[in-house]
Structure 1
Amino acid sequence: MPKISIIAKDGTPFELQVEAGSTVMENAVRNSIPGIVSECGGACACATCHVYVDEEWIERVGPPGSIEADMLEFAYDVRSTSRLSCQIKVSEEHEGLTMHVPERQS
């Protein structure tokens, strides 16, 4: 089970052991990470699970798909490392993946 890190907007780090095949959003909600709202429950129909992937991980995580890119247009303070956490499936290769929660969600 890979370990991932989500840094809350106040700087508090959350280290999570997660199952491969689950999404970052599922694990964030399950562990009550502040700032990950996930109003649509992971259907890629809102932008309330927006995260910033650390630069060193962005290539391994990959770019957003077309539907996700469209939804990111509704997110707050979108950056080149922005992703919707509901669209990031964790694999064993993501051991150490680090993301940050934006100041606010859309």
Structure 2
Amino acid sequence: MARITYIEHNGTEHVVEVPNGMTVMEGARDNNIPGIEADCGGACACSTCHVYVAPEWVDKLPPRDDMEEDMLDFAYEPDPERSRLTCQLKVSDALDGLVVTMPEKQI
């Protein structure tokens, strides 16, 4: 289980425990975290679960694959280093303490 902090664009923080094996997107969805829409349900077919990963976490996460890179092209104001799709981040003990911030909007 990992404790993940989701920060809304307005600064509101939500700290939740997400079971290993789920995705960061599923953790947000199951805990009613606003700002992650996940329209495709986690199939990496949209960009509505886009977040900015805290700088200290960028190098701790697995690299983006080609599909995630392609979908991030459709995200609102993607950051070349910090943007990730939460549906592609599998929760494990290694993600304990992860901090993600939602963009102003999802498109």
| 1:9 maps onto 2:12 in alignment | no
State the distance in 2 between where 1:63 and 1:51 align: 15
Q: Which runs of 4+ in 1 moved over 4 A?
A: none
State the distance in 2 between where 1:19 and 1:97 align: 13
Q: What's the counterpart of residue 21 of structure 1?
A: 21
State the distance in 1 between where 2:75 and 2:16 align: 24
Q: CA deviation at 1:63?
A: 2.3
* Gap regions ≥5 residues in structure 2: none
Q: Pairwise mapping of residues 1-106 of structure 1 onto structure 2 (< 5 A)?
A: 1-79=1-79, 80-106=81-107
SS at match of 1:46: coil
Identity of aligned residues (%): 50
Q: CA deviation at 1:21?
A: 1.2
TM-score, length basis structure 1? 0.97
SS at match of 2:94: helix
Aligned residues: 106
State the Cα RMSD in Å. Answer: 0.7
Q: CA deviation at 1:93?
A: 1.0
TM-score, length basis structure 2? 0.96
State the distance in 2 between where 1:52 and 1:20 align: 21
For 1:81, give the aligned amino acid.
R
